[in-house]
Amino acid sequence: MTPLQSLKVKIFADGANLDVIRTLYANPLIKGFTTNPTLMNKAGIADYEAFGRAVLAAVPDRPVSLEVFADDFGAMIAQAQTISSWGRNANVKIPVSNTGGEFTGPVIKVLADAGVVINVTAVMTIEQVEAIAACLNPRVPAIVSVFAGRVADTGRDPVPQMIGCRDVLEHLPNAELLWASPRELLNIFQADEIGCHIITVTNDVLAKLSLVGKNLDEYSLETVKMFHRDATASGFSIRAVSAA
């Protein structure tokens, strides 16, 4: 198993809690941060701009991806330009399509050609990555977020899909492939093994980092003790069956 410190894939923390973000900023393993309107809504964020600016200020030397929420292409471009102006480390998330299923290629091209660092999100197929790649500016950094976890939720193995997406982006030296929506810690090592550039990791998965490389015999015994402790604490009993 590759030690965490030797991983080539960059770990970005995914969330919308400013205190947690500040804490994770002290962890050198965390190379960037991402969030989205759904996470912010769940966290009770009321002022989108205030929160975005606060995160950018809290982690000034690491990229932060903030997402547009407009559905019209013109409004998407305007929101993206505004978000980009909030800080030099702002990356702007653009959905791969609007809610009508229209590919946002025109938005991606306008922003990329204007030098805006974009993060194309909600991507799930190699064909989508091919269409995105055709719109990127090879001189401008960009991220393509493929939701490998959601692909896995459909019963498909996401690894071959991610390898294909990586290959599509190989001719774009400033484009990075991001493994989004991981479901388990193993996904970090899978992403690293196939040459994925970035993986977003939520707090529940980050909390398991201390388990990396753990002795499995020890882990087995800890699990046995946990079951015994919880059974005892619950007061469970089993009435013995008398011999016939």
pLDDT at 244: 61
DSSP string for 141-152: -EEEEE-HHHHH
pLDDT at 243: 67
What does the DSSP 8-state code read for residue 243?
P
- Which three-class secondary structure state does DSSP give residue 215? coil
**Domain 4-211 is in which class?**
alpha beta
Other C-beta atoms closer than 10 Å to the C-beta of 28 total 7
Other C-beta atoms closer than 10 Å to the C-beta of 53 total 16
- What's the pTM value of the predicted model, to 2 decimals? 0.92
- Which three-class secondary structure state does DSSP give residue 177? strand
pLDDT digits 0-9 by tens, 21-64: 999 999 999 999 999 999 999 999 999 999 999 999 999 999 99
Low-confidence ranges of the chain (pLDDT < 70): 1, 243-244
Tell me the C-alpha distance between 68 and 70, whole Å: 6
Domain residue ranges in the chain? 4-211
